[in-house]
Amino acid sequence: GAVVSQHPSRVICKSGTSVKIECRSLDFQATTMFWYRQFPKQSLMLMATSNEGSKATYEQGVEKDKFLINHASLTLSTLTVTSAHPEDSSFYICSAKTGGANTGELFFGEGSRLTVL
């Protein structure tokens, strides 16, 4: 299957600082990438859809000024958690779509565990 790389896998930061997470598609070009958040023993929650060369589309209830998304190239999307607080501590996972627009096949990165102290 397609390979999606995410970095860093784990980050610990102080409250008030900003953290950037990178998502790369290694062996394919992804015009669309997705950012999910997952709390322990809960399902994946879609935060936003990242489109190359345009603004991200955020899901209802997700603060776009808090979670900045940049999709500067066909292989890279970044999520920046700005002014992080302990409640932002979570597992953030990116994914990218291959195949046709309507097939729904998604390949996920390894995830980034954010801990805000």
Tell me which residues touch another protein (CB under 8 A). Answer: 1, 4, 6, 32, 34, 41-44, 46, 49, 91, 93, 95, 97, 102-111, 113
Q: From the CB of 19, what's the least distance to another protein, in Å? A: 18
| Ramachandran sector of residue 111 (left: φ over 0; alpha: ψ -120 to 50; beta: rest) | left
Minimum distance of another protein from residue 16's CB (angstroms) = 26
Nearest approach, Cβ of 72 to another protein (angstroms)?
Answer: 19
Q: Which is nearer to another protein, 36 or 116 (CB)?
A: 36
Q: Are 10 and 2 in contact (CB under 8 A)?
A: no
What is the distance between the alpha carbons of residues 31 and 35, in angstroms, rounded to a whole number? 14
Residue number, 2 or 13, with CB nearest to another protein: 2
- Helices and strands of the chain, counted as H and E runs: 0, 11
Least distance (Å) from another protein to the CB of residue 77?
13
Respond yes or no on whether the N-terminal peptide bond of residue 86 is cis (omega within 30° of 0): no
Nearer to another protein, 82 or 113 (CB): 113
Which amino acid would we find at residue 9?
S
Q: Which amino acid is at 89?
A: S
Q: Between 46 and 68, name the residue whose CB sits nearer to another protein.
A: 46
